Amino acid sequence: MNSTQSAQAKPNLRIAIIALGVLTLDQTTKALVLRFLGFTEEHVVVSGLFKFVHWQNTGAAWSLFRGNNGWLAVVAAVALVILYLSRHHFESRSMLGQVAFGLVFGGITGNLIDRMFRKHVIDFLYFFIQGGTGEIGFPAFNVADSAICTGVGLVFLVTWQAERKARATPQRGTK
């Protein structure tokens, strides 16, 4: 392996290690939900604020496109390929960029595994506010969802920082 290949392999290895960590945490927490909570069962952790639930989602975020698990699995697989091939267009060479892509890859893979083998995604983290007329809650989510959202946010951040830095750096040959 030459020095250029070695230099490129290190960021890819970091991305893969982070993705594997996210995937392991995601699948482990979902296995615990399957073991300790029956379908639709809930366990209040913080009264009036947070509980573990066992909900099945055949849609995307906020249950959009519910019932389209197969198509969403295809979209996720295509997204993984496109993200892998286009990662160099984003700041994947920086450590923060590698963390971002590791989070996104691990999260997409975690939910894709659910879609392929369970035919739905397991959501189990549920934040809500108990009101006079009932609960008002944020849609339930899982570790993979959190990783995807955090990773995408970090990709935007590192890309924005890099563009800002490039604009602030004078170009050669200009005054």
User: Does 27 map to a domain?
Assistant: yes
User: Does 49 map to a domain?
Assistant: yes
Instruction: Identify the active-site residue in 111, 123, 128, 158.
Output: 123
pTM: 0.87
Give the structural domain span for 32. 9-163
Please answer whether residues 89 and 95 qualify as being in contact, where contact means their C-beta atoms are separated by less than 8 angstroms: no
96 alpha carbon, distance to own chain's centre:
15
H helix runs in the chain, sequence order: 3-36, 69-86, 95-117, 143-168
User: Does 118 map to a domain?
Assistant: yes
pLDDT 10s per residue in the chain (175 long)? 565 555 557 999 999 999 999 999 999 999 999 999 999 999 999 999 999 999 999 988 877 788 899 999 999 999 999 999 988 877 788 999 999 999 999 999 999 999 999 999 999 999 999 888 888 999 999 999 999 999 999 999 998 988 888 888 876 665 5
- Check if 114 is active-site: no
Instruction: Identify the active-site residue in 57, 145, 151, 158.
Output: 145
Q: Per the structure, how many domains does the chain have? A: 1
φ/ψ bin of 9: left (φ > 0), alpha (ψ from -120 to 50), beta (otherwise): alpha
